[in-house]
Structure 1
Amino acid sequence: MTETERRRTILNNVTARAAMASVATAIFLLSLKGYAAWTTSSVALLGSLADSALDVLASLVTLYGVRLAAQPADHDHRFGHGKAEALAALFQVALITASALAIGWRGVTALGSDAPIADPGLGIAVSVVAIVATLALVAYQKRIIAATGSVAVQADSLHYQGDILLNLSVIAALVLDRYLGLSGADALFGIAIAAWLGFGAFKASAHAIDQLMDKEWPEDERQRYIAVAVAVPDVRGIHDFRTRRSGTRDFAQFHMNVDRTLNIVEAHDVVEAVEMALHRAFPKVEVLIHLDPEGHTDTDDPLVEEDVTPHWFRKRA
C-alpha cells in the first residue's frame, strides 16, 4: 500500500466512525424524546421527536454514503465513488424538508387548542440531556470534518447544530406555555422550529449540489495549489486549470508549459517533480497534468487558454 492509499484508508475509517457515532446518538435521543413526547403532549417536543426520528434515518444514510464513497475506483467508476456522499446529503435535505412541513402543520392546527401540557419538567430535562449529547457529537464531527472534508458528515453536523437550537426552543416553549401562562407558545415555537429546519435544509443542499455540479475550489485554495506547482524551476506556465471535489477526495488537472527544447525524458522529469511536490503538499488531491511546449495554443477558447500563473512569475522575478 502506498503512502497516499494509506492516508485515504485512515481518512475513510475516521469518516465512518463519525457516521456511526451519529447513528448511536440519534437512536439514544429518539428513545428519550419518544417517551417524553408521549408523556407531555407538547407540540414543540413532538417536533423535536420527529427531527430525531429523521436523524436516525439520515445518519444511517450518511453511514451508507461514506462507506460507499470510501470504495476504491473500479472499471465503471474510474474517479471513485465520492459523490455518494453528496447524494446522501441531498437525501438528508429531503427528509429535513418533509419533517419541517409536518411539524409546521401540526403547530398551525394546535394554535387553537387549549389542551394542557402534562409534566413539562420531564420535557425540559429530556431537552437538556439532548443538548449535552448533541454538543458532544458536534464537537467530534467538527474534528472529523477538519481532517477529511466529508460533505456527508458536514451536512449531518449542520443538522445536529440546528438540533441544539431546536432543543433550546423546546425548553423555552414549555416554560412559557406552562409556567408563565402564555397559551399558544408551544405551538408557535413548533412552527418556528419547522421554519428553522426548512432554512437548514436549504443551506445543507447548497454544498452537496456544488459537488454534484463539479464546482471549482475556492479561489484561495486554487492559488495555494498553483503556487506549489510553479515553485518547480522548469515550469513556464499553467493554463486550463480545473478543480472539483468528490466526497473526501479532490481532483485537479491542468496544462503545463515547459521549454520546447527539452526532450521527452527531460520534460517527463519536470512533470514528475511537479506531481511529487503537489502530492506532498496536498495528499488528498489526485492530479492530472497535460504537458505543452512553451508557446503552444490548444484552442481559441479563452477560458481554456487562460494562463493562471503570470503574477506568480512576476513574484519570482
Structure 2
Amino acid sequence: MRLEKKATVVSTSVASLLVIMKMTVGILSGSIAVLASAIDSLLDLTVSLFNYFALHNSEKDPDDKFHHGRSKLEPLAAVVEGTIISLSALFILYEAFGKIAHPREMEFMGASIAVMLASIIITSMLVFFLNSVAKKTKNMVIRADALHYKTDIFSNGAVLLALGLISFTGEDLIDPILGMGIGIYMIYSAFPIIKEGVLMLLDAALSEEDIAKIKNIIESDKITANYHHLQTRESGSHIFISVHIVFNTSISLYDAHLISDKLEVKLKKNFKDKKTHIIIHMDPYDDSNINEMEDIY
C-alpha cells in the first residue's frame, strides 16, 4: 500500500474516533460548541474517505476508457476538500452569528473541556504525521488533508479557549467572537488548495521556474537545431511534457531517436519526485509556422 493511502487510512480512523467522542459528549452535555465540532469532525471523516477513494483509483493503470489514467482524481479531491473546509467555515460563522443574536448558556463545562483537550492532542499528532507524509510524497491530497486537520486544531483550540474563558468570566459572547475569527482563517487557508486543484483540472502549464529548467535541458544539447511547441501540464502526481525538436536533415532517424531518449532521461531526473510522461516530436525542419497556420484555421 502506498504511503499516501496509509495516511488516509490513519486520518479516517482518527476522524471516526473524534466523531464518537464529540458527538457523545455534545449530545449528553447539550453543548452547542462541542456538537458543532462533532459535525465538523463528521465532515473530516467524509473527506478522508473520499481522499482514500481518490488515491486508490488515481493510481490505477490506464485502460480502454481512461487512456491517460485517473490522476485528475487527486486535484479533484483537493478541490472537494477545500470546498468542504470553506463550507465548514461558513457553518461556523453562521453558528457564531446565531449565538450573538440568541445567547445560550453552556453546561457540563468539565466534560466538554476534557473532550476538546483530548481532540486537540490527537489531531496535532495526526497533522504532524500527515505533514511528514506530504513532504516525502509531495502529494497535494495529503497536503490538503493536513491543512484540513490543522484548521481543526485552531477551531478546537478556539472552542477550548472559549469554554475556559466562559467558565471563568461567565461571558457567553466570547465563544461566537472566537468562532468568527476561526471561520475567516479557514476560508483564507482553503483558497490556495482550491485554486491549485482547479488549475490542475484546467491543465494549467507548469510554473515558470519549471518551464525554464525544461528549456535549459533541451537547449543544452548542441546537436538539436531548435525546438518549438513546448507544452506542459500537471495532474496530481503526474507531469506531462510535449515538445517538437528540430534536427539537422542529415541526421539519421536512429540517432535522432537516441538523442530524444537522452533528453527524456534528463527531463525525468529533473522531476524525480513525479511520474513524468514525455512526448518528443522529431522534426527534420522547423515546421512551427505551418503548425501555427493549422491552429488558426
Q: Common fold, TM-score beyond 0.5? A: yes
3-state SS of the aligned residue for 1:111? helix
3-state SS of the aligned residue for 1:279? helix
Instruction: Please say if 1:275 is aligned against 2:287.
Output: no
Q: Deviations over 1:43-92 (max 9, x none)?
A: 43333222111000010001001111011111221111001122222332
| Native 8 Å contact 1:44 1:189 kept in 2 | no
> How is 1:67-78 mapped onto 2 (pairs within 5 angstroms)?
67-78=56-67
Give the letter aligned to residue 140 of structure 1: F
User: Which residue of 2 is the match for residue 93 of structure 1?
Assistant: 82
Give the letter aligned to residue 146 of structure 2: S
User: Which residue of 1 is the match for residue 212 of structure 2?
Assistant: 223
Give the letter aligned to residue 123 of structure 1: S
In structure 2, the gaps of 5 or more residues are: none
| Native 8 Å contact 2:104 2:172 kept in 1 | no
User: Which residue of 2 is the match for residue 314 of structure 1?
Assistant: none
The alignment yields a C-alpha RMSD, in angstroms, of 2.4
Instruction: Please say if 1:285 is aligned against 2:279.
Output: no
Instruction: Give, in angstroms, the shift of residue 212 of structure 1.
Output: 0.3
Match of 1:199 among 157, 164, 188: 188
| Native 8 Å contact 1:39 1:118 kept in 2 | no
User: Which deviates more from structure 2 when the two are superposed, residues 104-113 or residues 24-33?
Assistant: 104-113
In structure 1, the gaps of 5 or more residues are: 1-11, 305-317
User: Which residue of 1 is the match for residue 92 of structure 2?
Assistant: 103
Q: Deviations over 1:129-159 (max 9, x none)?
A: 2222222222222232233332222221221
CA distance in structure 1 between the aligned counterparts of 2:286 and 2:79, rounded to whole angstroms: 45
Structure-2-length-normalised TM-score: 0.88
CA distance in structure 1 between the aligned counterparts of 2:12 and 2:22, rounded to whole angstroms: 15
Q: Deviations over 1:191-240 (max 9, x none)?
A: 33333333344333111101101111112122223333433442333322
> Runs of 4+ in structure 1 displaced over 4 angstroms?
none
Classify 1:134/1:224 alpha carbon distance in 2 versus 1 (closer, same or farther; 3 Å): farther
Instruction: Give, in angstroms, the shift of residue 122 of structure 1.
Output: 2.9
Identity rate, percent: 25
CA distance in structure 1 between the aligned counterparts of 2:136 and 2:243, rounded to whole angstroms: 26
Structure-1-length-normalised TM-score: 0.82
User: Which deviates more from structure 2 when the two are superposed, residues 171-180 or residues 222-231?
Assistant: 222-231
Instruction: Please say if 1:133 is aligned against 2:111.
Output: no
User: Which residue of 2 is the match for residue 297 of structure 1?
Assistant: 288
CA distance in structure 1 between the aligned counterparts of 2:268 and 2:23, rounded to whole angstroms: 49
Give the letter aligned to residue 161 of structure 1: K
Classify 1:241/1:293 alpha carbon distance in 2 versus 1 (closer, same or farther; 3 Å): same
Q: How many residues align?
A: 292
Instruction: Give, in angstroms, the shift of residue 294 of structure 1.
Output: 5.1
Instruction: Give, in angstroms, the shift of residue 285 of structure 1.
Output: 0.9
Give the letter aligned to residue 297 of structure 1: S
